[in-house]
């Protein structure tokens, strides 16, 4: 599998020779001003990780000091052992009690256009009140609380309130369907759900509360549902279970001291796709995650006190956890949150927000940039964008054309671009340029962040020479790595630490060039990346076979200009079922209903059989090739039935 994927990925390698040095005026004011300064600090971080990370941690507030910065090795490394702290204290109280009390912490814009500004002082009050609401319904330290909301300040407040009490939040992205919520709620036995009536997206309302009601029919652990009133649209409130956010907050006391959390206590669970049908509930802990997100935000975004920082990611994904909530708030930034779609009411909405709020740091996904390019430069032209000083991307490799457009049309050839590579598992950026120090090469995530030791290796774990592709691993623990998969530590160990013993295996292919720059080459497992959203092909397959008319299904990713990857499904039907176009649409819709619209297959083909090896394994390489090119040229000697290929081609759309 690994080898097969690598060979495929190598054939689509990016080759890009342009280099864009950090602009001199930017570097002069940056935290880290030159490559040699980066190199020296990097060397120190690797030679003396305890000294380096201990100093970083000292920039935060601890209730009790740690005994040891780093203890143990993969997969059981522990950070800041016995140290006590609280993330809501470091995100909010630390600033509210100091010079930033009246600074805007959250600057929110709703899709219909309303704006709310919440200062650190006000946020302090809101978080304490909502923490008391949770306390009043019996939520306590260690309890799991699911959160299913749209992008609004209350979502950030909900997370911070959980963190304050030591309750473990589990955010389910608002685009997931009822079934996905119930699976996640049940997996970690959540005691409460925080949601809202509806949320606005592209002018229509997403009925979040109604979806929660449907999901909870299959959940027994949930005692309470708290509903934030966003739109006022009617919802069904279940007597004894559901309560309104505003009513509960009005009755709650204004003071709630933060719990003293152990550095290794869980902060949250976030489910992500793996190579099986069951999403993994990755568990992030308190101290190491706090320090990792704090330091990467400070250095990779070169954050300064006067920055207005906007990461467009939804808080439902890890990017929103680390770089909308925990990182920038720990840094005391003004964090912009926008509720809706980039093309509502028109394609210029993002640029209008940048100008209206004088955004200085803007962080988005390549898939969004490709959409802007498609919509045309005219949507950007009317805006000055002069407030911007740094741009970032995340989630997938950025193609050099998109990079150049971003650089020219948005950054006006003035702003450095940070291409940040990381994962739900890593918690923080692991490869990313330090903007005042590292020259950018379009399409490369450049160099490791401090303390991160990446390497490109063969299947056997041996380093490959510069310029050659291989598997991307990380050799040494870093503080923000997820510590386990909720309820399944064995799966954690086998998923990440068994492929290359002694190292963390990312699941990505990469190559390192002669200058030490890393170039990501896509996943080498069955995870696909659709519009920057991570999905497992097995999850989609399980959803398809759960439909009564489907006998077997195989799902692969194929390259797509806009989305990065598109979803191609091959389906065999139960005996006697007619393969009609109507059924095709029904099955695509079925997947959207089971998982969420983001998982709806782009292509769906019926076939009488799936190509299998003699040992019965589906030959995904052939399917990928067929989905991509419409033909198959590779080695088919292990194919069980050559006739299958001919049949697959016949049913090609």
CB 228 within 8 A of CB 170: no
Query: Is residue 395 involved in binding ligand WTA (CB under 6 A)?
Result: yes
Tokens for 312, please give them: 């467009």
> Which position among 394, 553, 566, 571 is part of the footprint of ligand WTA (CB under 6 A)?
394
CB of 334 to ligand WTA, least distance (A): 23
Q: What is the dihedral of CA 173, 174, 177, 178, to 10 degrees?
A: 100
Q: Which is nearer to ligand WTA, 286 or 420 (CB)?
A: 420
The encoded tokens of residue 443 equal: 């399409």
CB of 616 to ligand WTA, least distance (A): 28
Compute CA distances 377 → 265, 318, 354, 387, whole Å: 48, 30, 16, 19
C-alpha span between 553 and 549 (Å, rounded):
11
CB of 231 to ligand WTA, least distance (A): 29
Q: Alpha helix (H) ranges present in 390-515?
A: 400-405, 489-497
Gap between the Cα atoms of 435 and 33, Å rounded:
9
Site track for ligand WTA across 151-180, x = CB under 6 A:
------------------------------
- Could you check whether the bond before residue 556 is cis, i.e. omega within 30 degrees of 0? no
For ligand WTA, which residue of 445, 528, 543, 595 counts as binding (CB under 6 A)? 445
Q: Are strands 266-272 and 280-285 parallel, antiparallel or unpaired?
A: antiparallel
CA distance 611 to 648: 9
Q: Which helix (H) or strand (E) holds 364?
A: strand 361-364
Nearest CA-CA partner of 31 in 602, 425, 437:
437
Does 419 contact ligand WTA by CB under 6 A?
A: yes
Q: How far apart are CA 144 and CA 483, in angstroms?
A: 17
Note whether 422 binds ligand WTA by CB under 6 A. yes
In this complex, which beta carbon is closest to ligand WTA, that of residue 271 or of residue 351? 271
Give Cβ neighbours of residue 610 (< 8 Å, ≥ 6 apart): 552, 554, 570, 572, 618, 623, 644
Binding residue per annotation — 632?
A: no
- The Cα 297–Cα 418 span in angstroms is 12
Q: Considering only residues 199, 424, 484, 565, which one is a binding residue for ligand WTA as defined by CB under 6 A?
A: 424
- 216, 251 in Cβ contact below 8 A? no
Binding of ligand WTA by 272 (CB under 6 A): yes
343 is in an annotated binding site: yes
Can you give the three-state secondary structure of 381-421, one letter per residue? HCCCCCCCCEEEEECCCCCHHHHHHHHHHHCCCCCCEEEEE
Residues in 505-524 that interact with ligand WTA by CB under 6 A:
506-508, 520, 523
Kindly indicate which of the ranges 101-109, 207-215, 367-375, 500-508 contains the residues binding ligand WTA, using the contact rule CB under 6 A. Answer: 500-508
Was 534 annotated as part of a binding site? yes
Least distance from C-beta 529 to ligand WTA, angstroms?
5
Binding segment toward ligand WTA, per CB under 6 A, in 63-71, 214-222, 389-397, 625-633: 389-397
Angle, alpha carbons 595-597-598 (nearest 5°): 90
DSSP string across 109-127 = E-TTS-EEEEEHHHHHHHH
User: From CA 110, how far away is CA 119, in angstroms rounded?
Assistant: 17
CB 20 within 8 A of CB 50: no
Residue located via tokens 């995904």: 620
- Tell me how far, at minimum, the Cβ of 206 lies from ligand WTA, in Å: 21
**Spatial CB neighbours of 589, under 8 Å, sequence gap ≥ 6:** 600
Of 1 and 99, the one with the shorter C-beta distance to ligand WTA is 1
Q: Which is nearer to ligand WTA, 166 or 507 (CB)?
A: 507
Show the site string, 343-382: x = touches ligand WTA by CB under 6 A, - = not: ----------------------------------------
CB atoms within 10 A of CB 548: 8
In angstroms, what is the minimal distance from the CB of 233 to ligand WTA? 31
Q: Is 395 annotated as a binding residue?
A: yes
CB of 523 to ligand WTA, least distance (A): 5
Q: How many CA atoms lie within 13 A of 145 on its CB side?
A: 33
Q: Does 534 bind ligand WTA (CB under 6 A)?
A: yes
Q: How many residues are listed for the chain in this entry?
A: 653
String of contacts with ligand WTA for each residue 309-348, x by CB under 6 A: --------xxx-----------------------------
Span near ligand WTA by CB under 6 A; candidates 24-32, 56-64, 504-512, 570-578: 504-512
**Given the complex with ligand WTA, which of 222 and 528 has the nearer CB atom?**
528
With CB under 6 A as the contact rule, the residue among 45, 188, 286, 529 that binds ligand WTA is 529
Does the annotation list 203 as a binding residue?
Answer: yes
Q: Which of 396, 455, 539, 594 binds ligand WTA (CB under 6 A)?
A: 396
List Cβ neighbours of 464 (8 Å cut-off, separation of 6 or more).
456, 457, 458, 470, 511
Sole window of 181-189, 414-422, 477-485, 643-651 interacting with ligand WTA (rule: CB under 6 A): 414-422
Binding residues for CoA: 201-204, 319, 343, 531
Binding-site entries: 201-204, 319, 343, 395-397, 508, 523, 531, 534, 545, 547, 550
* Binding-site residues for ATP: 395-397, 508, 523, 534
Residues that bind ligand WTA (CB under 6 A): 272, 317-319, 394-397, 419-424, 445, 506-508, 520, 523, 529, 534
Q: Which residues are annotated as a binding site for Mg(2+)?
A: 545, 547, 550
């Amino acid at each position: 599998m690994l080898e097969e994927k690598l060979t495929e990925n190598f054939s689509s390698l990016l080759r890009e020779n342009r280099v864009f040095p950090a602009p001199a005026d930017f570097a002069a004011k940056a935290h880290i001003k030159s490559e040699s300064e980066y190199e020296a600090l990097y060397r120190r971080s690797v030679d003396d990780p305890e000294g380096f990370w201990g100093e970083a941690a000292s920039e935060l507030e601890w209730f009790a000091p740690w005994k040891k910065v780093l203890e143990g090795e993969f997969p059981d490394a522990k950070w800041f052992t016995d140290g006590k702290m609280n993330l809501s204290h470091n995100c909010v109280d630390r600033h509210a009690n100091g010079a930033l009390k009246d600074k805007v912490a959250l600057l929110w814009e709703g899709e219909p256009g309303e704006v709310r500004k919440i200062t650190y002082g006000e946020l302090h009050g809101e978080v304490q009140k909502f923490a008391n609401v949770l306390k009043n319904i019996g939520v306590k330290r260690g309890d799991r609380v699911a959160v299913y909301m749209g992008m609004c300040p209350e979502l950030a407040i909900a997370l911070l309130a959980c963190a304050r009490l030591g309750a473990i939040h589990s955010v389910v992205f608002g685009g997931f369907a009822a079934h996905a919520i119930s699976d996640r709620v049940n997996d970690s036995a959540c005691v409460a759900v925080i949601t809202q009536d509806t949320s606005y997206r592209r002018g229509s309302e997403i009925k979040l509360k109604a979806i929660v009601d449907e999901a909870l029919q299959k959940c027994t652990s949930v005692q309470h549902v708290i509903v934030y009133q966003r739109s006022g649209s009617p919802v069904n409130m279940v007597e004894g279970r559901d309560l309104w956010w505003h009513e509960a907050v009005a009755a709650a006391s204004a003071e709630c001291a933060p719990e003293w959390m152990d550095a290794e206590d869980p902060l949250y669970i976030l489910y992500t796709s793996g190579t099986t049908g069951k999403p993994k509930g990755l568990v992030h802990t308190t101290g190491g995650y706090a320090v990792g997100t704090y330091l990467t935000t400070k250095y990779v975004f070169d954050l300064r006190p006067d920055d207005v920082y906007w990461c467009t990611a939804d808080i439902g994904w890890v990017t929103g956890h680390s770089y909308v909530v925990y990182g920038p708030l720990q840094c005391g930034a003004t964090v912009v949150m926008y509720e809706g779609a980039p093309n509502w009411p028109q394609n210029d909405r993002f640029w209008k927000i940048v100008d209206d709020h004088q955004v200085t740091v803007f962080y988005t996904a390549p898939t969004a940039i490709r959409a802007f390019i498609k919509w045309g430069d005219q949507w950007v032209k009317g805006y000055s964008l002069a407030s911007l000083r740094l741009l970032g991307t995340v989630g997938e490799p950025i193609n050099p054309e998109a990079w150049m457009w971003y650089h020219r049309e948005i950054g006006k050839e003035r702003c450095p671009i940070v291409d940040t590579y990381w994962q739900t598992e890593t918690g923080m950026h692991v490869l990313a340029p330090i903007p005042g120090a590292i020259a950018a090469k379009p399409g490369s995530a450049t160099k490791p962040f401090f303390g991160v030791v990446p390497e490109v290796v063969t299947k056997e774990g041996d380093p490959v020479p510069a310029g050659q592709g291989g598997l991307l691993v990380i050799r040494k623990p870093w503080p923000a790595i997820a510590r386990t998969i909720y309820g399944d530590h064995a799966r954690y160990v086998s998923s990440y630490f068994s492929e290359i013993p002694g190292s963390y295996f990312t699941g990505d292919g990469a190559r390192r060039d002669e200058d030490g720059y890393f170039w990501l080459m896509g996943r080498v497992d069955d995870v696909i990346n659709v519009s920057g959203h991570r999905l497992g092909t097995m999850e989609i397959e399980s959803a398809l076979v759960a439909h009564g008319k489907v006998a077997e299904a195989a799902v692969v990713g194929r390259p797509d200009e806009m989305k990065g990857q598109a979803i191609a499904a091959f389906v065999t039907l139960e005996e006697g079922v007619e393969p009609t176009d109507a059924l095709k649409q029904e099955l695509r819709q079925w997947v959207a209903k089971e998982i969420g619209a983001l998982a709806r297959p782009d292509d769906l083909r019926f076939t009488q059989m799936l190509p299998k090896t003699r040992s019965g394994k589906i030959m995904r390489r052939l399917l990928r090739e067929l989905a991509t090119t419409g033909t198959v040229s590779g080695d088919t000697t292990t194919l069980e039935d050559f006739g299958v290929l001919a049949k697959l081609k016949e049913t090609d759309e």
